Structure 1
Amino acid sequence: MSAQRSNTGTAAQNGRQYRAFLSYSHADEQAAGALHRWLEGYRIPVRLVGAVTAQGPVTRRLVPIFRDRAELPAASSLDVEVQSALKASDALLVLCSPDAAASRWVNAEIALFRRLHPDRPIIAAIARGEPEESFPPALVMPGPDGITREPIAADFRPSKDGRHLARLKIVAGLTGLGLDHIIQRDAQRQIRRVIGITFLAVVLALLMALMLVFAIRAQREADAQRRQAEGLIEFMLTDLRDKLKGVGRLDVLESVNERALDYYADQSDLESLPADSLERRARILHAMGEDDHRRGDVDGALSKFEEASRVTATLLKAAPEDPTRIYGQAQSAFWVGYVKFMRKDPQAALPDFESYRELASKLVRLDPKNSKYQRELAYAQGNLCSLALASNGMASQLPECRSALASMLKVQAMAPHDPDVADALANRYAWYADALRRQGHDKQALAQRLQQLTIIKRLLAADPKNATYRQAWMLAQHSTALVYYALGDVTKAERMRRSAREEVARLIASDPENNDWQNWRKRLDHSWAEAEAEEGGS
């Protein structure tokens, strides 16, 4: 129970029947409010309206639904209005959680509804906790007829039904419709919406300029328009962007990118914007920066990543211990540093990559068992290792190569069967080998290269046609051959280099237009001295 009386609260007194009575604990008020709004706003798919079920004819809307939001007085029984609403309800919807299970008022509402309507449905929606700790006692007790009826259950937990399926299960329970029919019709409706939004994408680019011209007469209206505009932009540049990438139509969104930048350019005072708007703005800028970088617009990408960093830094300043905001700032630091690194300016990239490492380290300290955070740390350390290997002036960063390997080994322990993790681990062995060679430890470098070869060989055995793995195999053999040569084992060096030549020849045969492979064929024909010089500078 919670704060004010629902505006449908007097309907039962007028003899009007409720579609359902929503029962919940005060601790779950926010979840109950969101569910109530969604149910009363949900429209049954048109093709299902009018169908006759055990619950009667299916109507277009699930209204009204009674939600008692007032604290009950310190009394021993339910108040008259609640009893009247329970009597006038077609179904009882219980939002289950450990707090609901401990609430005597939720338990009393269930018990009364069972006595009044033993034949009407009770729907249990699990918001938090396991069923055995979340179901109120009255929910699983035998009814007046002595029969224990298993409640219809919808499970909102992400690892179970999730929010969307759980809501559709509730709709099925309230209407008597089959869940498969509702899911199918709802999916068709969503597809039509996506098609409609896609069709309007180009039109939206023209309309956004007009939208920003209109004077905002009230703050509430201004906030609503801002959320709507930003939500559309984010959809266009994230979900829809991913769909259009799959069919090669990112060009459709170029004009939207420009309009989005115009929209945000007028909002330079970041601290005046709400947090959700700032988070959305950062996500959009990251997506746009990635698109610019993919098209070769390095200056445009850097501009967007630096603006995203300004946004994520503002968010982090407001909540410095929030993992989501730490992660967002870490992504900004990485992208800014990455663009500078790709410009062949390692000194400029160093502060950003160091910031990325510190933020990733903080995430790991906050949640050491989170494989996503551990992987971020391995990536951050690998970036600093790459800087050290690319620049003779950063020998102090070489220990990061070993740290990157150690961190990725932890990730592999958390996800031992993930081929992407295995591929990243092979790269860390290679970087560490290069760092050891830079310090004159060729024997130790050889051990790391052999570990790399073992991993790539295992990946190739599972996916022998994977060109990425085949290229990695060729490069690893070439680099390992150089170590053997440096150690004086010319026979093994020549054998591995010959194997690398054969592999690059097979790669070129599969794709003669690949310029990288053509260049590697030439490099593999160079003398050992030339190969050593190239390896040190690559």
Structure 2
Amino acid sequence: MSSRRRYAAFISYSHADARWASWLQKQLESFRVPRRLVGTAGENGPVPSRLAPVFRDREELASANDLGGRIRQALEASDALVVVCSAAAARSPWVNEEIRSYRRLGRSGRIHCLLVPDPSGDDGAPHFPPALVEVIDAAEMPPEPIAADLRASGDGPALARQKIIAGLLGLGLDDLRQREAQRRQRRLVWITAASIAGMAVAAVLAGQAHVARNDALRRQAQAEDLLGFMIDDLRPKLERLGQLSLLDAVGDKALDYFDSLPSRDQTDTALSQQVRALTQIGQVRLDQGKHEPALAAFMAAHARALELSRRAPDDGARLFDLAQAEYWIGLVGWRQGDLDVAERWLRAYRDRSQALVALDPSRFDWQREVAYGYHNLAVLDDGRGRHAEAAEAFERELALYRDWLPDHPRDSMLRFEAANVASWLGSVKQRLGHLAEAESYFLEADRGHAANQALEPDVMAWTDNRIDSSVLLARVRVRLGKLADARAGLRTAVDQAAALSLHDPDNAAWRRSHGNALLSLAAVDLACGDDEAAASALAQARPILSQALAEAPEENLAIAYFVRAGLLDAEWALRAGQPAMATEALARIAAPLAKASRRAGSDTLLELLARRDQLEAAVFDLRGDDGAARTLRLAALARLLDPRGGEAPFAHLEQLLSLQRALGDDEAADASLKRLHQAGAVPEPLPAACVNDFAGEPASQRTAP
């Protein structure tokens, strides 16, 4: 293996075959290549001394057709793919998509198959996942599956193990078996001689050695049982049942166990296992919205990753793990609304990524880590109102992707990332008042997602991305006065989002996308004067977004969607002459809006608060209380104006114009109107759902689709 990747192999398997996947991983990682073979020429390059580490995915995916960024990254970083073949694997969309993704990398010749026994005991015809023989590229003939057969009717465990190992090493089976036999014979001779020479000493030390060995074995067994129970068996089942909270006790037990290990047990291997386990514990807790427990797990992973990197500072894999820990800590800070903490850790993540590239500039995956690092900090700048700085950073990042894409025309993840950057750039340009540029960037993002849909129509995540890009494109078109185009695009997005939710009703992110598309359509319907259509879209969006907030009450995005829905409800009620109904809608959003207000401020939060004040003022208008209405409008105006006396942000102008007209400040209204016209905007009262969402989260190391 002349150019070793991070993993010796990636094991793809159905969770019905988790036992066999675990067995295979242990067989591969514990195998020591005979010394006389190490460094010799194999089919894949020089033969390594070990087949480790081996990647075995321990997580169910949100959708079987949706490979997360971590999985795609591991596939790219693996020298080979080993597919555990069974009837369950053949039916698994997840296993088939992993195979397709690996073959798209041009590595069909590096795929190995292991047939495993059927749980029913029926070892009839072998079951191969269809993706093994699909035509992925017209220029490539799919290989005929050749498998090691673990079944009793086939090779049996010993021979099947040797076949897989020989294939991974690029050796002939006979060469490997002969060397293993010679090694076993030499070992037996050595053991016999050593036993005779050391019999007296062994008698004295037997008790101590026995106790120490049993202690080590006990600790190893305890760790393996704990991690296996938590990751392999329990987590996938609980995810399907929506009962991840039951994993809390297991996570606590793992943390206590790791803390109890004496320093003499902290080998490199033990620390690496702990880093992986602690990171997964943190991810589970973060998915549950339990930020402090998640932070504790990520901090513990970081401390161990830092120690591993200190022991081998030139080891890229260890530096990579350290960077990932820093990313996750930064993400927790982001979700908690502590942007100072988020910036500190995300900057550290960016710096580690640059150090990775310095170690090996030829690693394209590490070059992309630097792009993610810059991306996260640009998103942070945008969230803090530093829009010009964010736009400059996004433009530099997008230039990188535009340079990379022609060399990787079939890399759907790379295209997704490029579209994601273009989308962010569109949002920033919109906030700066550069509406035509914003529309152009949103179109670029939409075309990127459309290309992924065409290339991989079975990957549902690409459809979800297309829905999001349609919503963003529609919002800027509303500002440009292109209401018909915006409405048509949103209707298509709503239909696609509804189908996506039906495809996987348990996917919370897809449900939220459906709610957001409905909310945006309701806003455009209101702007078009179609109150009936707006009421219908709102009625569908309301329960979806209420559920999203209940599931993630601390999430900025869930809060923003719920608040926007309430504001639109109030707006619709006022247009229908129902002030009591409007007051009720505003009361529903009071608590989540107050929670958001206690966090670091943003332009979006100020817009939502000002919009709430405007709607409350309209309620007082209908009740004839002009004084209260004016007080609320003045409060809204103060939120939107620059407290330092500078020019108000462009995103606030529509609301400012409405307030200035209502307050009789014609001179200020004319100035706002002039800025809107210069930007190409068609000023209308801005529907609540056209207000931007809170600043998004930082991209993951590989932004998952």
Scaled by the length of structure 1, what TM-score is found?
Answer: 0.58
1:130 pairs with 216, 224, 229, which one? 229
- Alignment map for 1:471-510 (pairs within 5 Å): 472-473=608-609, 475-486=611-622, 489-490=623-624, 493-494=625-626, 496-501=628-633, 503-504=635-636, 507=639, 510=643
Whether 2:239 is the aligned partner of 1:154: answer no
Query: Residue type of the partner of 1:159?
Result: Q
Corresponding position of 1:138: none
Query: Residue type of the partner of 1:11?
Result: R
- Alignment map for 1:59-138 (pairs within 5 Å): 73-74=155-156, 81=179, 129-130=228-229
Preserved contact between residue 357 and residue 377 of structure 1 (Cα < 8 Å): yes
Whether 2:465 is the aligned partner of 1:344: answer no
Preserved contact between residue 501 and residue 510 of structure 2 (Cα < 8 Å): yes
Preserved contact between residue 412 and residue 422 of structure 1 (Cα < 8 Å): yes
Name the CA distance, whole Å, in 1 between partners of 2:499 and 2:453: 13
Preserved contact between residue 127 and residue 156 of structure 1 (Cα < 8 Å): no
Preserved contact between residue 154 and residue 161 of structure 1 (Cα < 8 Å): no
SS across alignment from 2:481: coil
The Cα shift of 1:126 comes to 9.6
Corresponding position of 2:440: 303
Name the CA distance, whole Å, in 2 between partners of 1:74 and 1:482: 78
Name the CA distance, whole Å, in 1 between partners of 2:53 and 2:321: 29
Root mean square deviation, CA, Å: 6.1
Corresponding position of 2:521: 384
Instruction: Decide whether aligned partners of structure 1 residues 4 and 345 sit closer, same or farther in structure 2, where only a CA change above 3 A counts.
Output: same
SS across alignment from 1:160: helix
Query: Residue type of the partner of 2:469?
Result: S
Name the CA distance, whole Å, in 1 between partners of 2:54 and 2:365: 32
Instruction: Decide whether aligned partners of structure 1 residues 24 and 438 sit closer, same or farther in structure 2, where only a CA change above 3 A counts.
Output: same
- Alignment map for 1:260-275 (pairs within 5 Å): 260=400, 263=403, 273-275=410-412
Deviation digits for residues 109-162 of structure 1 (CA, Å, limit 9, x no counterpart): xxxxx99xx89x979789985359679xxxxxxxxxxxxx99934363652378
Name the CA distance, whole Å, in 2 between partners of 1:348 and 1:354: 10
Query: Residue type of the partner of 2:229?
Result: E
Query: Residue type of the partner of 1:368?
Result: P
2:419 pairs with 282, 297, 300, which one? 282
The Cα shift of 1:350 comes to 1.2
Name the CA distance, whole Å, in 2 between partners of 1:24 and 1:86: 24
Preserved contact between residue 316 and residue 326 of structure 1 (Cα < 8 Å): yes
Deviation digits for residues 423-446 of structure 1 (CA, Å, limit 9, x no counterpart): 432321221222234345454334
2:663 pairs with 504, 525, 529, which one? 525
Percent of matched pairs sharing the same residue? 13
Name the CA distance, whole Å, in 2 between partners of 1:134 and 1:524: 62
Instruction: Decide whether aligned partners of structure 1 residues 319 and 481 sit closer, same or farther in structure 2, where only a CA change above 3 A counts.
Output: same
Whether 2:499 is the aligned partner of 1:362: answer yes
Name the CA distance, whole Å, in 2 between partners of 1:335 and 1:467: 17
The Cα shift of 1:506 comes to 5.9
Corresponding position of 2:237: none
Name the CA distance, whole Å, in 2 between partners of 1:521 and 1:5: 68
Corresponding position of 2:35: 11
Preserved contact between residue 127 and residue 155 of structure 1 (Cα < 8 Å): no
Corresponding position of 1:55: none
Query: Residue type of the partner of 1:130?
Result: F
1:333 pairs with 470, 473, 498, which one? 470
Query: Residue type of the partner of 2:663?
Result: D
Larger Rg: 1
Name the CA distance, whole Å, in 2 between partners of 1:258 and 1:174: 31
Query: Residue type of the partner of 1:431?
Result: L
Deviation digits for residues 84-128 of structure 1 (CA, Å, limit 9, x no counterpart): 779999xxxxxxxxxxxxxxxxxxxxxxxx99xx89x97978998
Instruction: Decide whether aligned partners of structure 1 residues 283 and 87 sit closer, same or farther in structure 2, where only a CA change above 3 A counts.
Output: farther
Query: Residue type of the partner of 1:444?
Result: M
Instruction: Decide whether aligned partners of structure 1 residues 22 and 249 sit closer, same or farther in structure 2, where only a CA change above 3 A counts.
Output: same
The Cα shift of 1:412 comes to 1.8
Name the CA distance, whole Å, in 2 between partners of 1:377 and 1:512: 40
Preserved contact between residue 429 and residue 437 of structure 2 (Cα < 8 Å): yes
Preserved contact between residue 411 and residue 421 of structure 1 (Cα < 8 Å): yes
Query: Residue type of the partner of 2:156?
Result: A
Name the CA distance, whole Å, in 2 between partners of 1:471 and 1:32: 43
Instruction: Decide whether aligned partners of structure 1 residues 85 and 505 sit closer, same or farther in structure 2, where only a CA change above 3 A counts.
Output: farther
Preserved contact between residue 453 and residue 473 of structure 1 (Cα < 8 Å): no
Instruction: Decide whether aligned partners of structure 1 residues 126 and 340 sit closer, same or farther in structure 2, where only a CA change above 3 A counts.
Output: farther
Name the CA distance, whole Å, in 2 between partners of 1:391 and 1:15: 72
Preserved contact between residue 125 and residue 156 of structure 1 (Cα < 8 Å): no
SS across alignment from 2:280: coil
The Cα shift of 1:361 comes to 2.3
Query: Residue type of the partner of 1:308?
Result: A
Corresponding position of 2:90: none
Scaled by the length of structure 2, what TM-score is found?
Answer: 0.46
Q: Which deviates the most, 323-332 or 158-167?
A: 158-167
Name the CA distance, whole Å, in 1 between partners of 2:461 and 2:380: 25
Name the CA distance, whole Å, in 1 between partners of 2:396 and 2:357: 12
Instruction: Decide whether aligned partners of structure 1 residues 399 and 194 sit closer, same or farther in structure 2, where only a CA change above 3 A counts.
Output: same
Name the CA distance, whole Å, in 1 between partners of 2:621 and 2:593: 21
Instruction: Decide whether aligned partners of structure 1 residues 255 and 437 sit closer, same or farther in structure 2, where only a CA change above 3 A counts.
Output: closer
Higher RCO (CA 8 Å, separation ≥ 6 residues) = 2
Instruction: Decide whether aligned partners of structure 1 residues 397 and 504 sit closer, same or farther in structure 2, where only a CA change above 3 A counts.
Output: closer
Unaligned stretches of 5+ in structure 2? 1-23, 41-46, 59-70, 81-111, 115-147, 163-176, 188-211, 235-264, 284-297, 324-346, 666-682, 688-705
Preserved contact between residue 515 and residue 542 of structure 2 (Cα < 8 Å): yes
Instruction: Decide whether aligned partners of structure 1 residues 15 and 277 sit closer, same or farther in structure 2, where only a CA change above 3 A counts.
Output: closer
SS across alignment from 2:540: helix
SS across alignment from 1:156: helix
Name the CA distance, whole Å, in 1 between partners of 2:309 and 2:373: 34
SS across alignment from 2:626: helix
SS across alignment from 2:663: coil
Unaligned stretches of 5+ in structure 1? 38-67, 90-113, 136-148, 200-223, 528-533
Preserved contact between residue 382 and residue 428 of structure 1 (Cα < 8 Å): yes
Name the CA distance, whole Å, in 2 between partners of 1:232 and 1:183: 12
Name the CA distance, whole Å, in 2 between partners of 1:259 and 1:296: 22
Preserved contact between residue 494 and residue 514 of structure 2 (Cα < 8 Å): yes
Instruction: Decide whether aligned partners of structure 1 residues 33 and 478 sit closer, same or farther in structure 2, where only a CA change above 3 A counts.
Output: closer
Deviation digits for residues 27-77 of structure 1 (CA, Å, limit 9, x no counterpart): 87997995789xxxxxxxxxxxxxxxxxxxxxxxxxxxxxx9995853769
Q: Which deviates the most, 228-237 or 428-437?
A: 228-237
Instruction: Decide whether aligned partners of structure 1 residues 226 and 290 sit closer, same or farther in structure 2, where only a CA change above 3 A counts.
Output: farther
Instruction: Decide whether aligned partners of structure 1 residues 280 and 468 sit closer, same or farther in structure 2, where only a CA change above 3 A counts.
Output: closer
Whether 2:409 is the aligned partner of 1:409: answer no
Preserved contact between residue 154 and residue 167 of structure 1 (Cα < 8 Å): no
Corresponding position of 1:95: none
Whether 2:463 is the aligned partner of 1:323: answer no
